Chain A
Amino acid sequence: MIAAAIVALLITLALTLIRAFLGPNIYDQILAVNSFGTKTVLLIVVGGHALGWFSYVDIALMYAMVNFVGTLAVMRFFEQYKPQGENNDY
């Protein structure tokens, strides 16, 4: 069953990646990238357990934190940047 979960997560990652490529606007892409990050955390937990990766829990914990910081940074700097780029088509 754990193999099925891994395969489901891999397919999920692929689908999320497609949304990250397609857009259509930047918020969709931020959403998809953040969602990709959380799915990677899940993949580390499930895959790490199934394949016996060493200290996978620490790394999953770290990923969850980094993903949060990264997404907040994207939103913060995007908001800051926007006033100068008024003539773009977001």
Chain B
Amino acid sequence: MNELLGHVNYWIVIFLMMMGLYMVIASSNLIKKLIGISVFQASVFILYITFGKITEGSPPIITDNTDVYSNPLPHVLILTAIVVGVATTSVGLALIVRIQEAYGSLDEDDIHDINDNDDFDIKSRSIT
């Protein structure tokens, strides 16, 4: 029972991660893919924070009441990773907006079809 409860976080995090991966693989819409990547990313964050937790421990802010602190190192890593994650997401979204302007579609299959067509000229498709 103890073993089960000790690992339940990891298992659910892996389920989440795989759902994010499935979103990236299976949906052909680029924004949906980006949401999938973000879900994957968030589940990695949860995994790291789960590592840092110590039972009976308090947050790594020094007080007189306790001597047991949770591990601060994963917190630092994930704190910056979240901000960098949103920065990369915004670059991805900007790319998606440009793709939409150039191709008129966000569907991966449509974009491949248009690319296979030799007559296609990206500049002429740009939306004003």
Contact = CB atoms under 8 A, between A and B. Distances in A.
Contacts of A54: 58-59, 61
Interface residues of B, number: 3
A41 to B, nearest CB: 20
A54 B62 CA distance: 11
Contacts of A53: 59
Main secondary structure on B side of the interface with A: strand
Interface in B54-98: 58-59, 61
Contacts of B61: 54-55
Nearest to A52: B58
Interface string A44-60: 00000000011100000
B113 to A, nearest CB: 23
A75 B3 CA distance: 46
Contacts of B58: 54
Nearest to B61: A54
A53 B58 CA distance: 8
A85 to B, nearest CB: 14
A48 to B, nearest CB: 12
Contacts of B59: 53-54
Interface string B26-68: 0000000000000000000000000000000011010000000
Nearest to B59: A54
Contacts of A55: 61
Nearest to A53: B59
A53 B59 CA distance: 8
Interface in A53-74: 53-55
Interface of A: 53-55
Interface of B: 58-59, 61
What are the 5 A-B residue pairs with the smallest beta carbon separation, nearest first?
Answer: A54-B59, A54-B61, A54-B58, A53-B59, A55-B61
